[in-house]
Amino acid sequence: MNSERYFYRFEVAYDGSNYHGWLDNYEVQTVQGVIKESAQILADQVVRVEGSSRTDKGVHALQHMIRIEIDKDLDPEYFLNSLQGITPYDIEIISCERTTKDWHPRFHAVAKRYLYRIWNGPRRSLFGSDTSWWIRSQLDVDSMNEVAQCFVGKHDFASFRTRSKDEPEDSVRTIHEFRVQRNGDHVLIQVVGNGFLYRMVRNLTGTLVEVGRGMKEASEVPKILAAQDRTAAGMAAPPEGLFLAEVSYDPDNIPRCRDEDSLFKH
């Protein structure tokens, strides 16, 4: 048996509608599990797959960086093309290159950009129900965007975390940019930060939507942030509108919120 290990860095995207999240789980279908199974077929061995984020059931990704570890020296182009050929239609294998054991897709990330899509029209979007949250009542996007700015900077986001046994106690994170914008019936929420707590983006989105619906006053939100109490904040937004959009490993190249027409170009 070959004792030497080889490491490959992949960029992938996926529609999470048919998956119970990223993390491998033998009882249900997950994105990590499907990629792992596909790679094991190619390598004819047990492989190790690490990811840049642990997305929940129904959450999507436009850019999810992963590392695959095997004991075979495969040509990256061959590995890429072969993996593209056997993964399901809702997982896209975008690129592959060699890396080392010293690079970890999650722990070495310096910033991530998430986006959340809302369909804010009188009728449900027939072809967007799996990738957006339908809210019929008109949202006050200007108020939502104004309130979002109170989250920018370094704060304790305990009010917007859902407790998880796998997470560290520290709930301080830095938000670099937060934007809420409308284009017709589409409302897009984008947030860039150095890291995110479990369900933090969905919890932040839920509170912003309550402001947009007039259920919460804008003046309440800074108090909710300061309370460091999850029960003080709004409900969690449903998972289907959330996308992991971008992951950066370069502190000199922090992602920025994009204009609406370029959100799905990568």
Residues annotated as catalytic (active site), given as ranges = 56
Residue tagged 């070959």 (tokens): 2
**197: helix, coil or strand?**
coil
Report which of 209, 254, 264, 245 is spatially closest to residue 65, judged by C-alpha positions. Answer: 245
Q: How far apart are CA 62 and CA 60, in angstroms?
A: 7
Residue 142: both structure tokens together = 């200007």
**218: helix, coil or strand?**
helix
User: Other CB atoms closer than 10 Å to residue 166's CB: what's the count?
Assistant: 7
User: Are residues 205 and 214 in contact, defined by beta-carbon separation less than 8 angstroms?
Assistant: no
Q: How far apart are CA 80 and CA 99, in angstroms?
A: 14
Q: How far apart are CA 207 and CA 215, in angstroms?
A: 9
Q: How far apart are CA 245 and CA 64, in angstroms?
A: 8
- Residue 74 CA, chain-centre distance (Å), reads 29
Q: How far apart are CA 72 and CA 61, in angstroms?
A: 28
Element containing residue 96 per DSSP (H, E): strand 91-99
